[in-house]
Amino acid sequence: MKYSRLSRAVKPKINPETPDKRVPDKRVLGKPVQEAPDALVRLDAGGAVRGSAKPLFGLDANGLAAVMTEAGEPAWRGRQLAEAIYRQRVAEISQITTLPKPLRAQLESKGWQVGRPEIAQVFRSVDGTERYLVRGLGEGQETVETVWMPEGDDGEAGDGSEMDVEASTAPSTGKDAGWKRATICVSSQVGCAVNCQFCLTAKLGLQRNLTAGEIAGQLVAVFERHAVEVGSARVNLVFMGMGEPFLNYEPFMAAVRLLVEEVGLSPQRMTVSTSGIVPGIEQFALEPPEVRPKLAISLNAPNDKIRNEVMPVNRKWAIEAVMDAVRKVKLRPRERVTFEYVLLGGVTDRVEHAREVARLVRRTGLPAKVNLIAWNPGPGIEYVMPQADAVEAFRTVLGAEGIAAYVRRPRGRDIYAACGQLKGTVEERGPGNRD
């Protein structure tokens, strides 16, 4: 697949810190490693280029009101639009029955469309996980990946919060009723610039940023597919799909605000995961609690030496700088920060690493928990999966050191939907015929 356009550079919203001038060690695990690319100094490289499409989806209350006043209508009709596209999930202007028919026709004749991203392809795993290729209105035919995980992924609800009794006994919700609770994983970019050595998405590089509508729309499209009743359904949202949300900061947060204010989700049911983009975390710390999701940090290594190797971004923002930024986030009562930790066989999965992680997490002084993820293999990535007993030993050591730790069950491995496997998008090849 070809991309007609790469991301547009626009003025950064946040000034990043001066890049680290140290000369990085170019050889990592015997392989040459790229330095953190220039894209890392921009937190917001601009949204998708939309050509002539005029999507309503993605506009906030003010934006929708402006569309109406421009059409010669009272601003309050903007609320009707918001209700229709975000709450009732209407996908065509012609079906917005709260608007007079001539007005619907007028909007369409002006080129407006609902423009919600569509599920273009579905892969279904034996474990019930569904992976979607979701297409927005971008000029190219790019799709991004979104994952639906009924019942979460064990030990935690996919969002880093551990499963509780209520969660496992709650009545079925949703019209397809085969699930009691679910986690939806959404993407924030097509590809990713961060270049973590263990991650398949990294192989794409950054293709482009998603718009707020494209980010929020993934969720609304999946809600529609599973007839999710907002308010009663136990659905968690994790920004853990393709891309680094904090390198597409403004559209990401605009999507969160839409989901909270218009779709009606609680930010406490949302978790954003970052590889440790310090200026992004600092900006995030300033967000008001009504719209701030919970935070997960992809720690993935016990110390800077190993983290420099597996996550080159650490050369720019080392562990201590990340922790300093995280400490600026004012946590809600009972809120904890999640540290994600991918176990790479022989590289990050030793018992001494677990002790180091425990010390590191304790030193932050933060209420925290650790989510352990056994590395999911991918073509062309030369790590090995950890042994099951190494995973268990790691968890045991953390537990003994007083750190809450959960092992995340891999979901949808057979359809390449598990963490770090979201790459099929660009090739548009089925899971069976990947390289």
Nearer to ligand SAH, 235 or 372 (CB): 372
Q: Is 145 a catalytic residue?
A: yes
Choose, by CB under 6 A, the member of 86, 132, 198, 284 that binds ligand SAH. Answer: 198
Cα distances from 341 to residues 205, 237, 356, 379, 395, in angstroms, run: 22, 19, 12, 21, 11
Cα distances from 169 to residues 127, 172, 173, 236, in angstroms, run: 19, 9, 12, 16
DSSP 192-205: -SS--TT-SGGGG-
Rounded to whole angstroms, the Cα distance separating 231 from 254 reads 21
Stretch that binds ligand SF4, among 32-40, 188-196, 289-297, 366-374 (CB under 6 A): 188-196
Choose, by CB under 6 A, the member of 146, 195, 300, 308 that binds ligand SAH. Answer: 300
Among residues 192, 196, 199, 419, the one annotated as catalytic is: 419
State the minimum distance, in angstroms, from the CB of residue 282 to ligand SAH.
17
Nearer to ligand SF4, 64 or 306 (CB): 306
Cα–chain center distance at 339: 15
| Residue among 280, 281, 257, 213 nearest 12 (CA) | 280
Under rule CB under 6 A, residue 426 binds ligand SF4? no
State the minimum distance, in angstroms, from the CB of residue 406 to ligand SAH.
13
Under rule CB under 6 A, residue 43 binds ligand SF4? no
Under rule CB under 6 A, residue 143 binds ligand SAH? no
Q: Which of ligand SF4, ligand SAH, none is residue 375 near (CB under 5 to 8 Å by kind)?
A: ligand SAH
Stretch that binds ligand SAH, among 92-100, 269-277, 326-334, 354-362 (CB under 6 A): 269-277
Under rule CB under 6 A, residue 274 binds ligand SAH? yes
Nearer to ligand SAH, 212 or 342 (CB): 342
Three-class DSSP category at 21: coil
Among residues 73, 130, 142, 145, the one annotated as catalytic is: 145
Angle made by CA atoms 417, 418, 420, in degrees to the nearest 5: 105
The residue of the chain with the least Cβ separation from ligand SAH equals 420
Residues 6+ apart with CB under 8 A from 232: 173
Question: What does the block give as tokens for 246?
Answer: 């904090």
Q: Where does residue 252 rank: exposed (0-12), middle (13-18), buried (19+ CB within 10 A)?
A: buried
Rounded to whole angstroms, the Cα distance separating 226 from 223 reads 5
Q: Is 419 a catalytic residue?
A: yes
Rounded to whole angstroms, the Cα distance separating 380 from 435 reads 8
Binding track over 276-305 against ligand SF4, x by CB under 6 A: ----------------------x-------
Under rule CB under 6 A, residue 244 binds ligand SAH? yes
Under rule CB under 6 A, residue 252 binds ligand SAH? no
Residues forming beta bridges with residue 408, ordered by sequence position: 373
Helix axes 319-326, 278-285, angle to 10 degrees: 10
Restricting to residues 354-373, name those near ligand SAH by CB under 6 A.
Answer: 373
State the minimum distance, in angstroms, from the CB of residue 153 to ligand SAH.
12
Q: Which residues are catalytic?
A: 145, 419
Which chain residues interact with ligand SAH by CB under 6 A?
A: 198-199, 240, 244, 273-275, 298, 300, 340, 342, 373, 375-376, 378, 419-420
